Amino acid sequence: MERVRQQILSLLSSGSYSIWYVIDYQDASIPEFFKLIEEMEAEGIIKIENGMISLTEKGKKEAEGMQFHDFTCKECMGTGYELWEEIKKDYESIAASRPPPEAKYDQGYISIDGVIRRLSFIFERGDIYGSIFIAGDDDLFSIAAGLTGLPSRIVVVEIDERIVNFINKVAREYGLEIEAIMHDLQNDIGELKKKFDVFVTDPVETLPGITLFLSRCVEALKGIGSVGYFGLTTLEASRHKWYEIQRILHDMGFVITDIRRNFNVYPDDGKNFFTFQQRLPVFKKIKAKNDYNWYKSSLYRIEAIKEPKPIITGWHKLGKALYHDNESWVTPE
């Protein structure tokens, strides 16, 4: 954690910051972050008041000679991708009436611009033209992809009936080639196996949960050369968990071709999962008003170099382990 400590000292050398901003800036998982700042506070290096973190005089001496510069591109939010404006206009209008996130399904959606930039990336990689399988779609990525008219087929499997009905209604109104199906991923995907070129998902981040999500998505793929896209945070997935997830991907026959850091932003727009923030462990810990869009995830692209082999097949009930582990600090209790 020494590197993360240096990150925090470097940032605070330029002034005081909201704890939400510091959480986003550093690389540790949320439990690791709190352990570190509590240690730094006990050492008299930092002080935390009213949700703001700053250096003490002792901390300023330790940070002497450090610098902070934000080199992130402000135009593209550090993603490297412009917006697909022709698609954004209709998508934004449609998404404005989406069903609100449901706490029991651990829902939360990425920003409008984030969905469009993800679409741009998938387009650039040449993966937009095939058949696309989407596991869970509170982001409404299926609609953005459908608006391009480029995918040959889009199928969404989703546990929330409200989202299924919303996507199918929009598909009918706009003439989009999208089919949304009510489905709990703890159940087998049946006739959808080996039918798709691409999968897209934003899975839960417990190891049992993400193994289940990825296994179902992998089952849906046709074979060698098929690809997948999914989001993964560092906030609810430590480096140890990343290691295990990457090992699982390799065991299933995939190579990681791209990891786009902090590509997906979950905005506090008054409607997102922040509406049930009182049920999130991180808010109970901080007890300070959110003032920054701090919850972000990296975007993975993986490609099958062997015949895809899911870890989990058949019916597989997980219960509480689907959503909760000791790193699930932004998951409703």
The full length of the chain comes to 333
Residue 228 shares a structural domain with residue 312: yes
What's the CA gap between 61 and 281, in Å, rounded? 33
| Residue 76 is assigned to a structural domain of this protein | no
Radius of gyration of the chain (CA): 20
Q: Residue 42's domain spans which residues?
A: 2-62
Q: What pLDDT is recorded for position 188?
A: 95
CA distances from 319 to 8, 208, 248 (A): 37, 10, 21
The mean pLDDT of the chain is 96
Q: What pLDDT is recorded for position 1?
A: 79
CA distances from 132 to 165, 247, 293, 325 (A): 19, 24, 29, 30
- The number of folded domains in the chain is 2
Which residue's entry shows tokens 């990891």? 259
Q: What pLDDT is recorded for position 289?
A: 86
Q: What pLDDT is recorded for position 36?
A: 97
Q: What pLDDT is recorded for position 239?
A: 96
| Residue 78 is assigned to a structural domain of this protein | no
Task: List all residues 6 or more positions away from 294 whose beta carbon is below 8 Å from its beta carbon.
Answer: 20, 21, 23, 24
Q: For 87-109, give one letter per residue: b (16+ CB within 10 A) or e.
A: bbeebeebbeebbebbeebbbbb
The helix (H) or strand (E) run that includes residue 258 is: strand 254-265
Q: What pLDDT is recorded for position 243?
A: 98
Q: What is the CATH number of the domain that holds 272?
A: 3.40.50.150
Q: For 292-327, give one letter per residue: b (16+ CB within 10 A) or e.
A: ebbbbbbbbbbbbeeebebebeeebebeeebbbbeb
- How does pLDDT run across 126-151, given as a tens digit for each residue? 999 999 999 999 999 999 999 999 99
Residue 23 shares a structural domain with residue 101: no
Residue 30 shares a structural domain with residue 160: no
Residue 275 shares a structural domain with residue 187: yes
Q: What percent of the chain has pLDDT over 70?
A: 100
Closest by CA position to 226, among listed 192, 198, 252 = 198
Q: What pLDDT is recorded for position 277?
A: 87
Looking at residue 184, the DSSP 8-state letter turns out to be: -
The gap from C-alpha 188 to its chain's centroid, in whole angstroms, comes to 24
Cβ-based burial of 146 (10 A; exposed 0-12, middle 13-18, buried ≥19): buried
Residue 177 shares a structural domain with residue 52: no
The residue among 13, 28, 62 that closes a domain is: 62
Residue 151 shares a structural domain with residue 297: yes
In degrees and rounded to multiples of 5, residue 228 shows phi and psi of -140, 150
Q: What pLDDT is recorded for position 255?
A: 98
What's the CA gap between 289 and 176, in Å, rounded? 40
| Residue 331 is assigned to a structural domain of this protein | no
Residue 130 shares a structural domain with residue 258: yes
Residue pLDDT tens, the chain, 333 long: 799 999 999 999 999 999 999 999 999 999 999 999 999 999 999 999 999 999 999 999 999 999 999 899 989 989 999 899 999 999 999 999 999 999 999 999 999 999 999 999 999 999 999 999 999 999 999 999 999 999 999 999 999 999 999 999 999 999 999 999 999 999 999 999 999 999 999 999 999 999 999 999 999 999 999 999 999 999 999 999 999 999 999 999 999 999 999 999 999 998 899 888 889 999 999 988 889 999 999 999 999 999 999 999 999 999 889 999 999 999 998
- How does pLDDT run across 90-117, given as a tens digit for each residue? 999 999 999 999 999 999 999 999 999 9
